[in-house]
Amino acid sequence: MCEDAAIVTRIGTIFLGGPPLVKAATGEDISAEDLGGATVHCSVSGVTDYFAGTEEDGFEIVRDIVATLNVEPLSPALLHSEEPVMQSDVLDALSGIDFIDRSRLYAVIGRIVDGGRFREFKQQYGENLTTGYAFIEGRCVGVVGNAGPLTYQDALKGSHFTQICQQRQLPLIFLQNSGPLEKHETFTRSLCIDELHQAMKGRAAMMGAVSCVTVPKITFNIGNCHGDDNYTMVCLITAMEMITI
C-alpha cells in the first residue's frame, strides 16, 4: 500500500486476524507483538522496511525517507556536499582482507558517503545484503552491497530497493563482495534443494529488476564475487562502469 513502511516496536502491529481469532481457531495463546509486531515484520516477513524503537525514532525515519524522495524543492542543506567523516585512506587496508563482513561493509560505506550518514533499508531482513540511502557530493543515491552469497530474502530486498530507486530516479551504487570462492561453495552446499531453488528464484527476480532500471548504475568490486552473484550485483553494465578497489 506504500513505498516505505516503518513500524514502532511494542506499539505497531499488522495481522489479518488478531490473537482472539488465533485462540478461537487453534487454541493457542499468542500476544499481538509475537503475532505481528515490529520484530516479526522487519526480520521474518519483510512486510515493513524500518524498525523504530520509539515514536521519536519513527519520526526521524520519516524525515530521512522524505529526504530521499528526490523531489523539488530540496532542502538547501541537502545540496551541499560533505566530506566523509571517516578517513578514506583506511580503505587501502581492505585490499588484504579475504572477506569483508557486514560490519566492515558499513565501514566502507561510511568512508565514501557525505558525512558518513546512511539510512539502511530493511536492515533486519536478509542477512547478506545491505541496502540504503546516502548522499555523495550532495546527490542522493541508493547503495546496494553484499557481504556473502545472496539468499532468497537478500534478493527480494535487493529487487524491492532497486525498483524504489528507479521510481525516485536515484543512481545506484553496487558494492560487490561475495567473499572467497570456498565460502560461496560452502554456502551453496549447505542449502537443501528447495532452499537452493528459492535462492535462485530470488536472484532471478533481482537480476530482472536491476536489468530493467534505467538509472545510472556503478559497481565497485570490494571483494571476490562468484557465480550468479556476479551477474545479480553487476547486471548489464559495461566494463567502463566497474571499478575495483
Q: Which of 65, 86, 102 is the last residue of a domain?
A: 65
pLDDT at 73: 63
Query: In tens digits, what is the pLDDT along the chain, a chain of 245 residues?
Result: 788 999 999 999 999 999 999 999 999 999 999 999 999 999 999 999 999 999 999 999 999 999 899 887 655 455 566 777 777 777 877 766 778 889 989 989 999 999 889 999 999 999 899 999 999 988 999 999 999 889 999 999 999 999 999 999 999 999 988 877 776 677 777 888 888 889 889 999 999 999 999 999 998 888 877 666 767 776 544 333 444 44
Asked if 54 and 84 sit in the same domain, the reply is: no
| H/E run at residue 170 | none
Same domain? 11 vs 115: no
Judgement on whether residues 60 and 78 belong to the same structural domain of the protein? no
| Co-location of 148 and 208 in the same domain | yes
Q: Judging by beta carbons within 10 Å of its beta carbon (0-12, 13-18, 19+), is residue 107 exposed, middle or buried?
A: middle
Same domain, 153 and 235: yes
Within-domain flag for 15: yes
Q: What is the pLDDT of residue 60?
A: 96
In a domain, 76, yes or no: yes
Q: Which of 49, 65, 81 is the last residue of a domain?
A: 65
58 and 178 assigned to the same domain: no
Residue 1 counted as domain residue:
no
Tally of domains in the chain: 2
Predicted confidence at residue 149, as pLDDT, reads: 87
Query: Would you mind telling me the total number of residues written for the chain in this entry?
Result: 245
Question: Are 59 and 75 in a shared domain?
Answer: no
**What is the pLDDT, as a whole number, of residue 132?**
97
Enclosing domain of residue 49: 6-65
- Cell numbers representing residue 236 in the block: 548489464
Q: What is the CATH number of the domain that holds 193?
A: 3.90.226.10
Q: Which of 18, 33, 65 is the last residue of a domain?
A: 65
Q: Is the domain of 170 the same as that of 92? A: yes
In this structure, is residue 106 part of a structural domain? yes
Q: For residue 81, tell me if it sits in a domain.
A: yes
Helix, strand, coil proportions of the chain in percent (round to 5)?
A: 45, 15, 40
Please check whether residue 11 lies inside any domain of the structure.
yes
CA distance 50 to 48: 6
Q: HEC profile for 88-152?
A: HHHHHHHHHCCCCCHHHHHHHHHCCCHHHCCEEECCCCCCCEEEEEEEECCEEEEEEEECCCCCH
Task: Give the model's pLDDT for residue 100.
Answer: 86
Query: Is the residue at 23 inside a domain?
Result: yes
Same domain (yes/no): 74, 48 = no
Regarding whether 162 and 51 lie in a shared domain, the answer is no
Q: Is the pTM of this model over 0.85?
A: yes
| Same-domain check for residues 54 and 161 | no
